[in-house]
A = this chain, B = another copy of it.
């Protein structure tokens, strides 16, 4: 009995290998950041976006996080309840919100960002430094080309 199946039927598909590689990629995140700090990938991403783009609106997060508007509301609810993020009313437009990191949120965001810088090393060890850069740049090129 074979222990590894022949994947010849899907070997030609970038999408297949992308989906497969995503599994250990998510595990790396979970082990280094997700579990220790109780952050889901999308929550981590939101913190990272707020670190660099303070004051963005939920409306702007919909395309950036690739998540529908109602989910952004729930996402911000959770982070606001943990006092990591706060909602501020837009002074000119009473409908719109500005999202800001609290002091606590800022500290956490900086900490997990620092941790994230080295967390993928083991996972990517099989690739040379040049290959890692190449892989990331090809993925970025692919994404930046399509509708962001």
Known: A5-B53, A51-B9. A21 touches B139 (CB 8 A): yes
Shortest beta-carbon distance, A112 to chain B, in Å?
10
A-B contact pairs, 23 of them (CB 8 A): A1-B60, A3-B60, A5-B53, A5-B60, A9-B51, A9-B52, A10-B48, A14-B120, A14-B136, A15-B28, A17-B136, A18-B21, A19-B22, A19-B25, A19-B26, A19-B41, A21-B139, A23-B66, A24-B143, A123-B146, A125-B145, A127-B138, A131-B141
Query: In the complex, what residues of B have CB within 8 A of residue A89's CB?
Result: none
Separation of A146 and B124 alpha carbons in the complex (Å): 10
Interface pair B135/A14, CB less than 8 Å apart: yes
Binding site for B on A (CB under 8 A): 1-26, 28-29, 41, 45, 47-49, 51-53, 56-57, 60-61, 64, 66, 109, 113, 116-117, 120, 123-127, 131-132, 134-136, 138-143, 145-146, 148
